[in-house]
Structure 1
Amino acid sequence: MHRYLLVALSLLPLATLAQTKKTLKPVVPADTIYFDQDWARTEIPDDRKYVRLIRYGADGLPTGTVRDYYLPSWKKQWEGKLVSEEPELASGLCSFWYESGKLKARGTYSRGQALGDYQQWRPDGTPVKCSSRLVEALPSEQSQIHSSSHGREMQHVFQAVLPSGTTSVLYRFDIRDEGQPPMSWNSAASLALGSMVSGLTLAQLSLQAMRTDARHQQDPTISTQCHYFITTDVEVASRFQQTDGQTPTSGSFLYQTSSTQHEIRPLTVPPGTRQVFFCVKNDNSFTAAIATLSVTAIVQECK
């Protein structure tokens, strides 16, 4: 009896192990990325101030929850999800902490844009009260951009100077061949003030106003071939201008697209950003184009 009991007991770990192997899912190891005090990646041990634990899917994009920590304490600094790293775009519920462990901020994000439930706290735990206002950083600017057959001036760089405290921008961009119906619009600020809708944030009001204004425009009958990108890096913009519209292979880009004739888009900018450059290239072989851009800054003021 004891012999059979011993045999049965000796088989239990094997059976348990076999069952465990069937039920456990493989764990994808997290990559470890170090940052310096300016949140630039670094491999120099003495420069490491933050560390990120992140996993990537088969498509190379972040997957699951991303966590940032202070160094050397390894206390949590941020937790949330990222849909992109270049540019860094948060998604879903995200939380920030002071190194003391107290909550610093929390809110829901959509492609890097904080939504209406975003809330901040001071180190002593008292809530921060913030309000936003609109500032026209570039009310409206037009530029003629020549075709490749012209041999020069096939590109143009729009510059928008942003006020201190800008958290994001709303921009409208349009490019159409010469001879197509002209483009004109009202300012986003004046439209937003006349479109007060309960429950919407200032950014949502402005975006809604711009889209309403755009519906009154006459669409072109011919599509312009073009491409453009947005950057905060003056050197990237300068290289684009000096190389007849060649997109640099390296540098910091907030957004880029091709063959897009009309866009209305909100765009989050890094803290402290004071200027953005819209680098536009006309890809038509023989026809010049007219590009129009307006940029509205959303400035946050907190007490």
Structure 2
Amino acid sequence: MKLRLLFLLILLSSSPSFAQLTMVNPTEQAVSVAIGFYVEKGLFKGWNTKGWMPIAPHDSITLLPTGIAGGTFYYHGVSTACDQGYTGNYALFIHPTEAFAIANAGTDAPVTLNKEVKKAGFVKVDLPAGQRSYRLRLPALNCTQQGRRTGEWLVYLDRDKEEVLKPDQATYMRRINYQQGVPTGLVRDYYWPSNKLQWDGKLQSEHPAMPQGTCITYDESGRKREELVYQNGRATGPVRRWDAAGKEVITTKKYRTIKVLEPQQGYLVSYYNPGNSRTVIPVQLPPNTVSWYYEFTAFRNEAQLQAARAQFKLVSELSRLVDNTGTLTLALNALSTPPGGSICNVYLLGNTQQTDLFQAKKEFSYLREGTRSSLTSAVVPVSQTASQQVYLGLQNPDNLYGIHYALEVVAIIEE
């Protein structure tokens, strides 16, 4: 024990009381660092390493009071909370868990009292000629915990805002915070490499990108160019834009109706009769859909259904109600409802997994908006959905009688 203590005292001793190397930890996680440094004379002349020196979050530590010899030093670090650490391409000896002091650390014959030392990758830092002091700010860590992103990240993006690995491939740089892999709080994108603010807002997810709330775009001179409000990744409400001089440009939105499904009809048997008492109708919504409607009616008698279907006029009524001045002046009571005589359950389903469960008469989930039970006839409004592909599941709940149904779907898109 005495021999080991003497070895450490000789290797780590220093004469001046002031420090020459300051290491700053700017991250939210505590880190422990090891350094590689050159000893100019004495018994342990050559490259030495020592560690571990803990640095608390947003704190610093001072090292190498005799100055940095040779204009070069190395560092290696581990984070207490992240899968990542600080590693480089230069191999020097460390001990992975114990405090250590190692001479001849760059050779294959290290001198140390520590057992089971091994080589690790160090980052090299070169100083200007003649300089012996340095202040190193550790780079921010893109931290994962068990593979899930956490804390603040710096992410490089190409011109399409797809993530790239290297700064020289980037058009933008993003500052983003994660909580268990999910974006949280304000996200800021910057032009790269000028580091000027380009966009700020919130993201519900990145892949695919789903903005949420108020999002603002800036030009490289710092002027606001566009402001939009998003809900579940889709723009809602008016768009505000500014020209290069900073003057707001008055814009208007135009809307038009698109017939998604022509009026169609079908038949559903009663629950206990052979045949289909359920059916699924796919609905492929066009791009830029802001809302959509389905018109529905059901009868036991096919002739009554045909008469009711002839009264379908959803397209013409929606077209009349769409206001091209930039707002949608739609009142549901202004839309006429066709007659109906028999009940049917209509479920709005979000994916094929739920449609399969629905048709197999197993437990399934559905979207509340757009779902109606015991429906005889109606015009049902649906606001934006997370996907352009949705499904309407029709179920005849009657145990004795089959029903004939008719259905059409119309969307309102923004141009």
TM-score of the two chains, using structure 1 as the length reference:
0.55
Q: Name the amino acid aligned to 2:221.
A: S
Give 5+ residue unaligned stretches, structure 1. Answer: 1-27, 231-239, 248-255, 271-275
| Corresponding residue of 1:36 | 158
CA contact (8 A) 1:155 1:244 kept: no
1:257 counterpart = 2:367: yes
Counterpart selection for 1:98 from 206, 216, 219: 219
Task: Tell me, in whole angstroms, the C-alpha distance in 1 between the residues paired with 2:156 and 2:267.
Answer: 45
1:169 to 290, 301, 310: 290
Rounded to whole Å, the distance in 2 between the matches of 1:130 and 1:267 is 22
Q: Which amino acid aligns with 2:253?
A: S
Pair 89,168 (structure 1): closer, same or farther in 2 beyond 3 Å: farther
Contact 1:97–1:103 (CA under 8 A) maintained in structure 2: yes
Match of 2:251, as an amino acid? C
Q: CA deviation at 1:171?
A: 0.9
Counterparts of 1:115-130 in structure 2 under 5 Å?
115-116=237-238, 118-130=239-251
Aligned pair in 2 of structure 1 residues 292, 179: CA closer, same or farther (>3 Å)? farther
The alignment's C-alpha RMSD in Å is 4.7
Change (3 A) 1:282 1:87: farther
Query: Aligned match of 2:414 in 283, 292, 298?
Result: 298
CA deviation after TM superposition for structure 1 residue 133, in Å? 1.9
Rounded to whole Å, the distance in 2 between the matches of 1:219 and 1:81 is 45
Whole-angstrom distance in 2 between the partners of 1:219 and 1:48: 59
**Whose strand fraction is larger, Structure 1's or Structure 2's?**
2
| Residue 192 (structure 2) aligns with | 71
Q: Does 1:53 align with 2:53?
A: no
Partner deviation per Cα, 1:246-275 (whole Å, 9 max, x = no partner): 59xxxxxxxx837824752343999xxxxx
CA distance change for structure 1 residues 42 and 281 in 2, over 3 Å: closer, same or farther? Answer: farther
CA 1:125–1:172: 2 relative to 1, 3 Å? same
Residue of structure 2 aligned with 1:187, choices 305, 309, 317: 317
Aligned partners of 1:63 and 1:221: how far apart in 2?
Answer: 48
**1-structure distance, mates of 2:268, 2:404:** 5
Q: Distance in 2 between matches of 1:77 and 1:175?
A: 47
Q: How does 1:1-303 map to 2 (within 5 A)?
A: 29-43=151-165, 47-56=169-178, 62-83=183-204, 88-91=210-213, 93-111=214-232, 112-116=234-238, 118-138=239-259, 141-144=262-265, 150=275, 154-159=279-284, 167-173=288-294, 179=300, 184=312, 185=314, 186-193=316-323, 201-203=326-328, 205=329, 208-209=330-331, 211-213=332-334, 216=337, 222-224=343-345, 226-229=347-350, 257=367, 260-261=371-372, 263-267=380-384, 277-282=389-394, 290-299=406-415
Identity of aligned residues (%): 20
TM-score normalised by structure 2 residue count:
0.43
Cα distance in structure 2, aligned partners of 1:115 and 1:57: 29
Secondary structure in structure 1 of the residue aligned to 2:371: coil
Q: 1:44 to 1:147 in 2, by over 3 A?
A: farther
User: Does the 8 A contact of 2:346 with 2:392 survive in 1?
Assistant: no
Count matched residues.
232
| Shift, 1:88, TM fit | 1.0
Q: Cα–Cα, structure 1 residues 159 and 290, in superposed 2: closer, same or farther, change >3 Å?
A: same
Structure-2 change in CA distance of 1:107 and 1:160 (3 Å) = closer
* Matched residue type, 1:35: L
Deviation at 1:71, TM superposition (A): 2.6
Instruction: Give CA deviations for 1:186-243 in whole Å, capped at 9, x if unaligned.
Output: 43230245xx9xxx9513x1xx33x23458566887452544349xxxxxxxxx6xx9
- 1:87 Cα deviation after fit: 6.2
- State the one-letter code of the partner of 1:90: Q
Checking the alignment, whether the CA contact within 8 Å between 1:95 and 1:105 is kept in structure 2 is: yes
Contact 1:135–1:297, Cα closer than 8 Å, also in 2: yes
Contact 1:94 1:106 (C-alpha < 8 Å) held by counterparts: yes
1:57-115 deviation digits (Å, cap 9, x = unpaired): 57x75432222223333322211234555561421x33211233222113555554343
Distance across 1 between alignment mates of 2:266 and 2:319: 28
Task: Give 1:264's aligned amino acid.
Answer: P
